[in-house]
Amino acid sequence: MAVVGPLSVIFNLLLSLLVCHLHFTILIQAAGEGRWEDKYPFIREASTFSSFSDFGNYKNSYDYIIVGGGTAGCPLAATLSTKFRVLLVERGGVPFTNANVSFMQNFHIALADTSSTSASQFFVSTDGVFNSRARILGGGTCINAGFYTRAGPSYIEKAGWDSKLVNESYPWVEKQIVQRPNLAPWQEAVRESLLEIGISPFNGFTYDHIYGTKVGGTIFDHYGRRHSAAELLASANPNKLDVLVHATVQKIDFDTSGKKPRAVGVIFKDENGKVHKAFLSTRKGSEIIVSSGAIGSPHILMLSGIGPKAELEKLNITVVLDNKFVGQGMSDNPLNTIFVPTNRPVEQSLIQTVGITKKGVYIEASSGFGQSGDSISCHHGVASAEIGQLSTIPPKQRTVEAIEAYRRRKKNIPHEAFRGGFILEKIALPLSRGNISLVTTNPDDNPSITFNYFSHPRDLKRCVDGIRIVEKIAKSKHFTNFTQCNKETLDRLLNMSVQANVNLIPKHTHNTESLEQFCKDTVITIWHYHGGCQVGKVIAPDHKVLGVHRLRVIDGSTFKESPGTNPQATVMMMGRYMGVKILRERLGKAAGL
C-alpha cells in the first residue's frame, strides 16, 4: 500500500487531512444547555465597555483585573469573583458556538486556520518549528488534544504549593469539565504494547502521575464535544464578574511617582480598534493579574515597560522596571512522532493512553485523522498539509501558485495512503532553554521565540531512547491487528518522517542509523512551552512581580518544568488554587473557601 510521509501529531493533526466542511451547528445546540448568553450573561464584546460616567468620574474600577481569559485566567476569575469585583479581558472570542473548537473531529482545522479571527495564532519559532498560541476564551484548553492528568507529588512539593489546597483545587476543575474517555482501539493497542515492552505496571484509569502505563482523563465528552476552561466561568458570581472578549491589551499602566512602580490600570483595544482603559480600585489588596500564557505574559510585561532595559529602549518603550530575566528561561518539550499506516480505517482518537517511562520520556498516541475523502483536497492555509506533510516544495518556493498546484495534484493520491495513526514520544523535563524577545510594539504581532531544541545533550539522549521505545511498540504483536511492521518497514517510516516537511529545519534523509539526527530533523512541538516569568527571577513565590506593586503573574510562564505528562490540568488547578489563596490572604477565614 502507498505510504505517505508522516506528520507530527501537533502539526500533523493540525496539518492533517480531515473533513473541510463543518456540519455541527445543530449538534452544538443539541449537546449544549441552551444559549450560552443565558448561562454566561457577564460575557460581552469589548466595544460595550465604558470607563467613565456622564459626569467624568470613574464608573468601572475593579478589585482585580485579569489579563488573559485562558487556562489559568478563567478559573482564577471565577474564584475571585465570589468575593470581589473582577474584570477579565480576553483578546479572542467565545468558544461556545465555534464548531472547530467544540468538536474533536475538527481539532486540526482550528489549528490550521491562520486567519485573523482564528482561535489559534500561528507562529514559527526561530528554531524552524511550527507552533500555535491560543486566541480564544478558554485559552489552550480550546485547541489542545484534551488529555487531562495531574502533576506528581514531587512537582507539587518542589513548587512549594500547599498540598491540601492543591488536592481540593484539582477536583474543583474535574467535577465541572473532565471525564473518563471511551478508549479507542488504537489507544487499546498502544496500552497493551506499552505493557508488552515493559512500561509497567498498568495503573488503570487515573489522573495521578505514576510510572507505568495508564489511561488519563479527557475534556472531550462521549459525544466528542470539548469542555474548555471557559466553562469554569459558570462557577463565577455573575454580579461581580465582567468578561470582555476581543479586548487586546496594549499595556499595563503604572503610577511611577512612588519608590516602586504601582499598577493602576489596563489599556486595551476593542474589536473596532477603539482604545479603552480599565481602572484598578484604590482599595488595599486590589491587583492586576497577568494570565496570558507562557508567551503572552512576558510579552505583555515587556510591552508595559518591565523587562531588559536595552531591549525596551531599542523599541522606544519607556522603562518601568529593568529586569533582564523577563522572557528568559523559555523551554518547550520536544516531540517526535512515527506515522504507522494501517490496512483499514482507524477510529479517530486523541491522547487517551500514556506510558510514563523511567527514561525521561512519555509515550502517547493519536489516530484516524486522515481518512476522509474531503481531506485529500482540503486546503488549510499556510499551516496545511500542502506545505507540511506531503509537500516537496522548498520553503523559499512556497508561493500561493505552487501550493495550489500541489493541492490539485494531491487529489490523485489514494485515500488509503492517509489511514493510520501516530505514536509520539515527548521529552519529560528538557534542559535546553531559550528566550522571547520583542520584534515590534504591536501586541498582535508574535514576539521572536527561540526554544533551542536539543541544545543540551541529555535531551538528545532521551529522544533517542524514546524513538527506540516507539520502534518496539510498532513491532509489538498488538499492532498486527492494524499493520505488519518489520525492520525494513520501520526504516522506511523513519526515512519518510525525515523527508516530511513538518518543520523548516534542513533534512538529512536516509539516515536512520543516526537517531540523534532523526530527532533533530523531525522535532515538533506539543504546545507545552513554559517559562519567561519564573519564580525568583521575575516573580516572588506568591506570584507577585518583583520590584512593582499590585501586579502578579499566574500561568505556565511561571513554570521551570512542565507538570505531569500534559500541563492543562495543573494550569487550571493553579488558577483555582491561587484564587483561593489570594482570597484567604485578603479575607482570612471569612473567605469561606
Joined grid coordinates for residue 90: 480576553
- pLDDT value, residue 409: 56
Output the known binding site for FAD: 90-91, 249, 527-528, 556, 567-568
What are residue 212's DSSP bridge partners?
356
Catalytic site includes residue 528: yes
Among 50-54, 382-386, 396-400, 583-587, the range of highest mean pLDDT? 583-587
Give 5's contacts (C-beta < 8 A, 6+ positions apart).
339, 389, 390, 496, 497, 499, 500
Q: What is the pLDDT of residues 169-208, one digit of tens each?
A: 999 999 999 999 999 999 999 999 999 999 999 999 999 9
CA distance 280 to 370: 49
> Which of 524, 585, 559, 556 is CA-nearest to residue 229?
556
* Cβ-proximal residues to 218 (8 Å cutoff; 6+ apart), any chain: 146, 147, 148, 178, 179, 180, 181, 350, 352
Task: Inform me whether the pLDDT recorded for 32 exceeds 70.
Answer: no
Contact predicate 218/148, CB 8 Å: yes
d(CA 149, CA 155): 13
User: How do residues 251-297 score in pLDDT, each as one tens digit?
Assistant: 999 999 999 999 999 999 999 999 999 999 999 999 999 999 999 99
pLDDT at 47 over 80: yes
Spatial separation of the C-alpha atoms in residues 148 and 352, rounded to whole Å: 9
Q: What are the tens digits of pLDDT across the range 377-428?
A: 444 333 333 333 333 445 455 455 665 665 565 555 555 556 778 899 999 9
Mean pLDDT of 150-162: 97
At residue 415, the pLDDT reads 56
pLDDT recorded at residue 397? 57
What integer best gives the mean pLDDT of the chain?
85
Question: Is the pLDDT score of 341 beyond 90?
Answer: no
Distances (CA, A) of 427 to 222, 266, 466, 565: 30, 38, 8, 9
Question: Of 72, 65, 32, 71, nearest to 49 (Cα)?
Answer: 65
Q: Looking at this protein, which amino acid is placed at residue 233?
A: L
Distance CA 435, CA 299 (A): 11
Q: What pLDDT is stored for residue 591 in this prediction?
A: 64
Confidence band, pLDDT 50/70/90 cuts, at residue 250: very high
Known binding-site residue numbers: 90-91, 249, 527-528, 556, 567-568
List 209, 246, 380, 528, catalytic entry: 528
Q: Does the pLDDT of residue 539 top 70, yes or no?
A: yes
pLDDT at 161: 97
**Least confident residue range of 219-228, 398-407, 458-467:** 398-407
340: pLDDT confidence band, cut at 50, 70 and 90? confident
Q: Residue 31's pLDDT band (boundaries 50, 70, 90)? A: very low
Say whether 355 sits in a helix, a strand or coil. Answer: strand
Q: Is the pLDDT of residue 26 over 90?
A: no
The model's confidence at residue 338, banded by pLDDT at 50, 70 and 90, is: confident
- Distance in angstroms (rounded) separating the CA atoms of residues 466 and 190: 14
Residue-level pLDDT at 420: 78
Distance of alpha carbon 180 from alpha carbon 221, whole angstroms: 8
- What pLDDT does 513 receive? 64
pLDDT of residue 478 exceeding 70, the answer is yes
